[in-house]
Structure 1
Amino acid sequence: METQEIADKIKDINIEDIKNNKENLPKKSKTEQSENSEALAQILGTEILNITYPRLMKVKPQLKELISKQNKIYLDISAEKFKYTDNNIYIVENLMERVKFYREKLIKIRRAMIDIHHKSRSLKNRAINLRKQAENKVNKN
């Protein structure tokens, strides 16, 4: 159907009569009511589209701009996240290498301290033995 035909059918429907006197309206068959309903829906849809379409066309470029800005921000955030995680991985690896190095150094120092402790203990024991021998010589003489 063309819009003119639909408009003509809608003119047949008197809205005031529907509101005021539903009983006085002529009885129409279900097919006529269905055709009138379809015509009314078609006209209302067309009119709503005519009203909103210019506004939608004005909003469309703004929406595209907004979406492009969102995408740019998303990419920036993703890049920063990657830098952050990549940098953290580097820091952690570096830290683990330093831990390994200092652990080995600590083990060497510990071994050296144990060796020094054993040597100092043996030197103390030797000094005690020498002192006893010196005292024995002094007591014999």
Structure 2
Amino acid sequence: MLKSSNLDSVIGELDADRTGTGAVAAPEKSVKNNKNNNTSLSQGKVDEIDCSMAALQLSFGVLEIAESPLVRVRNQLKELIGKQNKFYIDVSKEKYKLDCSEVSKLYDMMNNVKLYKDKLIKIKKDMQSIYQRSKVIKKRAAHIAACKQREHQRKVEKQQHEESLIGNPLP
């Protein structure tokens, strides 16, 4: 396959193809075998030159026909690859933003967990304190109620005692 429209590279590739396939080697063998046959050697070189010129002209013509669409397709492919790279970069940035926002949300949640844990500990301490105070108050209320009841009992007894001292009223 031809790589560029440079005529020298086309000729170089044709020469490389000929030496690789043995097209040049066959006439050389015949020259070595038939040293006296100079006419066949010159005829082989002329045929080879005509063949290489025809191949060169044919490849140049095919290259002229196919070059402009290939250049256009190559440019379109470069443009497409550029757009794909830009799209990939944009998607990567958005993914990074989402990842960062998710990480940010996670950090916020962890900070909220710490904050709520501290609030919960404070509420638990407050509740424990309230429980202790209510326990003390209930005990004190029971003691006060017992004292009031004894005081009321004493008043009733004192009143009964006074009534007994006063005696029975005269009829």
Query: Do they fold alike, i.e. is TM over 0.5?
Result: yes
Amino acid corresponding to residue 111 of structure 2 in structure 1: E
**Pairs aligned (count):** 115
Q: Which residue does 1:48 correspond to in 2?
A: 55
Q: Which residue does 2:106 correspond to in 1?
A: 99
Provide the rounded CA distance (Å) in 2 between the counterparts of 1:67 and 1:75: 12
Provide the rounded CA distance (Å) in 2 between the counterparts of 1:28 and 1:136: 142
Q: Which residue does 1:28 correspond to in 2?
A: 34
Distance 1:130 1:104, change over 3 A: same
Distance 1:71 1:101, change over 3 A: same
**Are 1:81 and 2:81 counterparts?**
no
RMSD of aligned Cα (Å): 2.7
| Structure number with bigger Rg | 2
Cα offset for 1:84?
1.1
Overall identity of the aligned pairs, in %: 8
Which ranges of 4 or more aligned residues in structure 1 deviate by more than 6 Å? Answer: none
Q: Which residue does 1:8 correspond to in 2?
A: none
Equivalence map 1:47-66=2 (5 Å): 47-66=54-73
Equivalence map 1:61-140=2 (5 Å): 61-138=68-145
Amino acid corresponding to residue 82 of structure 1 in structure 2: I
State the TM-score, normalizing by the size of structure 1: 0.64
Distance 1:46 1:135, change over 3 A: same
State the TM-score, normalizing by the size of structure 2: 0.55
Note the residue ranges of structure 2 that are not aligned, 5 or more in a row: 1-32, 151-171
Q: In the TM superposition, what whole-angstrom CA distance separates every residue of 1:40-99 from its partner, at most 9, and x where no partner exists?
A: 332211122233432221101011011000000010001111111122222333333333
Provide the rounded CA distance (Å) in 2 between the counterparts of 1:29 and 1:97: 89
Distance 1:112 1:50, change over 3 A: same
Provide the rounded CA distance (Å) in 2 between the counterparts of 1:134 and 1:101: 48
